[in-house]
Amino acid sequence: MQATGRVRTETVFSERSVRKSLLLSAAAAGATASRSNGAGVPDIYRDMLVAADIAPSEPERPLKKRRPPGARRPELSGPGPASKAAAAATAASKGRREPQRIDDKTGAGVADNDSDESDSDEIEFEDVALPDPTIQTMERDSDEEEDDDEDEEPIQFEDVDLTLMNSFGLGDVQEEEKTPKVLELDLAAAQSKQRRQVAERRKPINREEKDRRIVVHKTHLLCLLAHVSQRNRWCNDPVTQRNLRPLLSSKTIDYLNPSTELTQFGRTNSLKRGLEDVMTKFKTRYKITERGMRRALWAEKEEHLKNYQLPDDIETPPEKSDFREMATTLEGSRDVGAQLFCALLRSAGVEARLVCSLQPLACTPGAPPMGKPPKSRGRLSLEEQYARIPKYDSSFESPVAAPSPLSARRRLGHPNAAAFNAPVMTGPVASSSSLAPQKIRESPFPIYWVEVLDEAHQKWQPVDPIVTESFWRPQKLEPPANDRENCMTYVVAFEADGTARDVTRRYAKAYNAKTRKMRVESVGDRGDRWWRKALRAYSRDYATDMDQIESNELNNLEAREPMPRNVADFKDHPVYALERHLRRNEVLVPGASAAGTVGAGSTGPLEKIYRRRDVRVARTREKWYRMGRTIRENEIPVKFVPKRVRKDNLFGGDDDDDDDDDDDESRMDDTGAAAGNPLYTIEQTELYKAPPVVDGRVPKNRFGNLDVYVPSMVPEGGAYVADEYGARAAFMLGIDYAPALTGFQFRGRQGTAVLHGVVVPAENEDAVRAVIEGLKDEEAEFARAMRSREVLRAWKRMLMNLRRIWAGVGSDDDEEEAQQASKSQHNDYGHDMAVDGHDVGDAEADEDDDTQGGFMREAPSSNGHGEGEQQDLEVDLAADSDEEEGGGFMIDDDYAGGFIVE
């Protein structure tokens, strides 16, 4: 409504959409506003800026209409609209993942959820209403290795904000018309917070912010994948391919499809020759008239967002029909150029992949900010930052030109040094534009290119017909690190069948040292799994030979990556490690040999480089004990870490709760060692063997408990019974037992012991379990009896009331009064039941909630079936108490019957 109250962030990525949205937003402000704020658009948008020009993926066929504004969002689990919508995505999880599916879902398939258990916690994006940051839960795979992802145990894992998805133009498709996606931010709500934050604007990014960025990053990746996937599909379009046909001569086609009679090299040469032909033809015919995709940058400040203007020559996001047309006119962005080239090659029978270097918003801090837009002077704003070139000036080296974003300083030894400052694309401006011709300055490295399968050598080779005009030169495609408009982090190649592969390693020269650190993998929260999961939506469910070969190739490339030459790159390097970067509790294996040396900077002493595999974690005796291991005899600590000083230790003896065991041990050690706590590696430990149970006596620690941090700590001759009633049962049986100390909970000042279950002599286990069973039955029986009594009483009351009603028929007042009474009784009844149901056997269950750590978590729930039933009833009864009189009567009848009859 009030324009002042909100900030409008364009999440559309094209001129056309922007203009349209401006028109629309004025007219439909009310409508959009009402639907967009709702529960409050997540803050995540506030300083998010999408500078990348992602055309919203337009669905091949209309998606479902989105929900009305107020609609609740679908349940994440349980039956409901979401479950049926999810069917398609779920197919993926069942292992029969057809590439076809991708076509069906316009990329929404990325959200697939490999749940083996239920089909219901799936969401299709269009099913999600905009308000309320919707969290989609995916499950993570249990694997540890690279490629064999088999989901054994579904674990809750990734959160992707689906509203973001909407804002990127997926799923937020309204009606038939391709309405631009306008995201309105309810600033009113955010403003106070905003103020506070402005004050401390200079504060570094906190965790919350970091998390938000990660979510945005992931979401952006999903959108980009979907986007490229769609373009890749377009490359298969027969009409497009037919339109491109004039660019192919039959001779060229012959070259491109070399006879198998040729030698290996002959075939490759023929292919290259053909490619050269096509490239030349394509290059000369294709005119770059629009700016293509570029790297998305974060805005530092709100105002930057407000004043943000898309460049005039930004790409018009084509629809399929446009794409077909562009195949004829051969005009457009260089991205579309690469796509058309891909289509062209496919039409010529070449196996071609569409490759895109995704340009998502960074997930790590340290990425360049978007920067402040200049004072609004027309629409030249962004241009000014990059190339302030007078319209009529054809010179690249205009003195007023702002320093090129790709400044002369480049990464040392970058192989593209020569090409680096080369003049960039030029292209006549679209005739329809009123602007005079103007250069389009873009990164001298491509975002889109093509990979061609060299069948003779079983190798995919890059072909970039437009930007670098190179082929068979994977090294030439990576932009330097300081290229603000092009950052190579994820390179994804889409094959004609719709499947995709991450081929970043083929192109990134310092994948381990640098590239990796910009990817989700390096960011916490199981980023690697997330990315695999995201790509799995586009993966084949079986690996072809070619897939294998390529995997090997990429692994080799990674393995051959040269050692970093600077100290920083060794940090968190998957292969190498420096001593200075070792964690406090990390240590080098004794015989570790240096793999090389680095000097810090130009001057400075040389440091030895070790291999990561020679690094071990070291732990204190107590830590190992908590993991069920003990230090072997006569082991010498591999490391000493400084002791924590306790300043309030003057009054000793106050803190002796449960930790005394440990404290004693460490005190023994620290007598002579001012150096600190001794640490040991796992090789110096062995499995802890608890003193055995002999003659039915269970050994106990001095608190009368038994440490059972892990299952292996159960003593020989003993059995662990993970049950609340264990102690009582054992006591009743009169056998010796020890409560199991399964962990500690650090709450308040000191840790408190967590006891769960008991250890009893093995020969008594069955007896104990039997007794427990009995106890539970008894408990349940008692509860049932109580309940029955309650029910009967309630019935009685109700019948009495009814009698009163009947007796009073004829008098309105009486009737009303009686109804009132009846109703209140009814409510009481429900209430009573609820309380009752809850109380039963819950006292001990509460204890259970507090426990933490230890393996007792995996033990079967101690809350028997009886209580489960009761809980259900509680819910039902509570709900029923709101019913109308008559209905309640009937329903109650059923329940009451159930109680009594049983």
Which residues are registered as beta bridge partners of 739? 758
With CB under 7 A as the contact rule, which of the stretches 106-114, 265-273, 597-605, 774-782 interacts with DNA? 597-605
Among positions 131, 480, 628, 717, the unique one binding DNA when judged by CB under 7 A: 480
**Does 604 engage in binding with DNA (CB under 7 A)?**
yes
**Site for DNA, residues 325 to 364, rule: CB under 7 A:** 364
Interatomic CA distance for residues 118 and 228, integer angstroms:
30
> Measuring CA to CA, which residue among 11, 406, 469, 68 is closest to residue 219?
11
Provide, rounded to whole angstroms, the least separation between the CB of residue 757 and DNA: 23
Q: Residue 699 is encoded by which pair of tokens? A: 């050994």
Q: Which amino acid is at 834?
A: A
| DSSP secondary structure string for all residues of 629-645 | EEEPTTPPPSEEEPPPP
Residue with Cβ nearer DNA (560 or 647): 647
Q: Which amino acid is at 902?
A: E
Among positions 61, 96, 203, 375, the unique one binding DNA when judged by CB under 7 A: 203
Using the 8-state DSSP alphabet, how is residue 461 labeled?
E
**Does 398 engage in binding with DNA (CB under 7 A)?**
no
> Measuring CA to CA, which residue among 158, 86, 84, 171 is closest to residue 125?
171
Provide, rounded to whole angstroms, the least separation between the CB of residue 208 and DNA: 8
x/- contact string, 235-254, with DNA (CB under 7 A)? --------------------
**Does 482 engage in binding with DNA (CB under 7 A)?**
yes
Give the list of residues 6+ apart from residue 503 with CB closer than 8 angstroms, or none.
355, 451, 460, 491, 492, 493, 550, 554
x/- contact string, 431-470, with DNA (CB under 7 A)? ----------------------------------------
Interatomic CA distance for residues 479 and 507, integer angstroms:
10
Which residues are registered as beta bridge partners of 470? 464
| Cα dihedral value 497, 494, 65, 36, nearest 10 | 170
CB atoms within 10 A of CB 574: 15
Provide, rounded to whole angstroms, the least separation between the CB of residue 405 and DNA: 11
**Site for DNA, residues 575 to 594, rule: CB under 7 A:** 583-584
With CB under 7 A as the contact rule, which of the stretches 272-280, 290-298, 407-415, 435-443 interacts with DNA? 407-415
**Does 601 engage in binding with DNA (CB under 7 A)?**
yes
| DSSP secondary structure string for all residues of 337-355 | HHHHHHHHHHHTT--EEEE
**Does 655 engage in binding with DNA (CB under 7 A)?**
yes
Among positions 1, 199, 645, 650, the unique one binding DNA when judged by CB under 7 A: 645
**Does 210 engage in binding with DNA (CB under 7 A)?**
yes
Provide, rounded to whole angstroms, the least separation between the CB of residue 566 and DNA: 4
Interatomic CA distance for residues 53 and 45, integer angstroms:
17
CB atoms within 10 A of CB 833: 23
* b/e burial code for range 777-786 (CB count within 10 A of at least 16 → b): eebbeebbee
**Does 384 engage in binding with DNA (CB under 7 A)?**
no
| DSSP secondary structure string for all residues of 519-560 | SGGGSTTTHHHHHHHHHHTTS-SS--HHHHHHHHHHHHHHHT
**Does 644 engage in binding with DNA (CB under 7 A)?**
yes
Interatomic CA distance for residues 113 and 95, integer angstroms:
12
**Does 650 engage in binding with DNA (CB under 7 A)?**
no
Among positions 301, 411, 611, 700, the unique one binding DNA when judged by CB under 7 A: 411
**Does 608 engage in binding with DNA (CB under 7 A)?**
no
**Token pair 């679908």 is at which residue?**
74
**Does 481 engage in binding with DNA (CB under 7 A)?**
yes
**Does 375 engage in binding with DNA (CB under 7 A)?**
no
With CB under 7 A as the contact rule, which of the stretches 35-43, 170-178, 639-647, 873-881 interacts with DNA? 639-647
Beta pairing class for 639-641 and 685-687: unpaired
**Site for DNA, residues 547 to 566, rule: CB under 7 A:** 566
User: Total binding residues for DNA by CB under 7 A?
Assistant: 41
**Does 409 engage in binding with DNA (CB under 7 A)?**
yes
**Does 670 engage in binding with DNA (CB under 7 A)?**
no
**Does 207 engage in binding with DNA (CB under 7 A)?**
yes
**Does 746 engage in binding with DNA (CB under 7 A)?**
yes
Which residues are registered as beta bridge partners of 746? 751
Among positions 747, 793, 831, 865, the unique one binding DNA when judged by CB under 7 A: 747
Among positions 377, 560, 702, 749, the unique one binding DNA when judged by CB under 7 A: 749
Provide, rounded to whole angstroms, the least separation between the CB of residue 601 and DNA: 4
**Does 647 engage in binding with DNA (CB under 7 A)?**
yes
Rg of the chain taking only CA atoms, in angstroms: 34
Among positions 435, 568, 606, 673, the unique one binding DNA when judged by CB under 7 A: 568
Provide, rounded to whole angstroms, the least separation between the CB of residue 851 and DNA: 16
Contact 798, 830 (CB under 8 A): no
Q: Which amino acid is at 700?
A: K
With CB under 7 A as the contact rule, which of the stretches 179-187, 234-242, 355-363, 405-413 interacts with DNA? 405-413
CB atoms within 10 A of CB 62: 11
Using the 8-state DSSP alphabet, how is residue 592 labeled?
-
Among positions 366, 734, 860, 886, the unique one binding DNA when judged by CB under 7 A: 366
What angle do the packed helices 865-880 and 765-807 form, to 10 degrees?
Answer: 20
Residue with Cβ nearer DNA (195 or 644): 644
Residue with Cβ nearer DNA (242 or 643): 643
Residue ranges binding DNA (CB under 7 A): 203-207, 210, 364-366, 409-412, 480-482, 566-569, 583-584, 598, 600-601, 604, 623, 641-642, 644-647, 655, 659, 746-751
